[in-house]
Amino acid sequence: MPHIKVDNNLAGIRGLMAFRPETAEPMGALANALLRDTDGLTPAERELIATHVSYLNDCFYCHHSHGEIACCYLNGDRELVDQVRKDYQHADISDKLKSLLNIAGKVQQGGKHVTDDDVENARKHGATDKDIHDAVLIAAAFCMFNRYVDGLAANTPTDLSTYPPRAKQVAEKGYGNHIFSGYQPIAIKEKI
């Protein structure tokens, strides 16, 4: 049960954003800028970083939400997404993404855990300064988003079948006001 009174029809961060739209707008803009950019990292790679960090933070809602969005970009490959969550070193992803996930995991522990060697390793595998910047900022932002969701005990669906329809909507429309303004779409009939 949430620590504050939110719309119980809106799961996770959506209920919190509806509670305070004036903070939701810049958070939605940040999510769009970080997760939907196609310059450098792909949206799938960006969502995988968000998923991994959310998994490390034990934020059930966020790692399932963003894992499902990554699945949308990866043609439904949940096995790959799950591998990135738990053991990215053995996942079928590029060495560049592995090096950026390493950096993101260090940011999750604390920014000062990122070393010059971590950054040099990412560069060695083809990461640009923008890729490194974005990986760090995605990780830092998701530490904030995860703590926001869990710190206020947001409504978190445990039925995993509820995540794919919403993920499809976000993958198609992006982040923004529609995230919290409509009801959760369902697989059979959308109500938005």
All structural domains of the chain, each given as residue ranges with its CATH number in brackets, are 12-180 (1.20.1290.10)
pTM: 0.91
Give CA–CA dist 107/178, Å, rounded.
30
- DSSP letter at 91? S
The rounded percent of the chain whose pLDDT value lies above 70 is: 91
Q: What is the CA radius of gyration of the chain?
A: 16
Query: What are the CB-based long-range contacts (under 8 Å, 24+) for 137-140?
Result: 137/34, 138/34, 138/35, 138/46, 138/49, 138/50, 138/53, 138/104, 139/49, 139/53, 139/103, 139/104, 139/105, 139/107, 139/108, 140/107, 140/111
Q: What is the dihedral of CA 80, 129, 141, 21, to 10 degrees?
A: -110
pLDDT for the residue numbered 51: 98
- pLDDT computed for residue 182 by the predictor: 46
User: Tell me: the pLDDT tens digits for 132-191?
Assistant: 999 999 999 999 999 999 999 999 999 999 999 999 999 999 986 544 444 444 443 333
Which of 148, 135, 174 lies closest to 28 in space, CA to CA? 174
The pLDDT tens digits for 70-106 are: 999 999 999 999 999 999 999 999 999 999 999 999 9
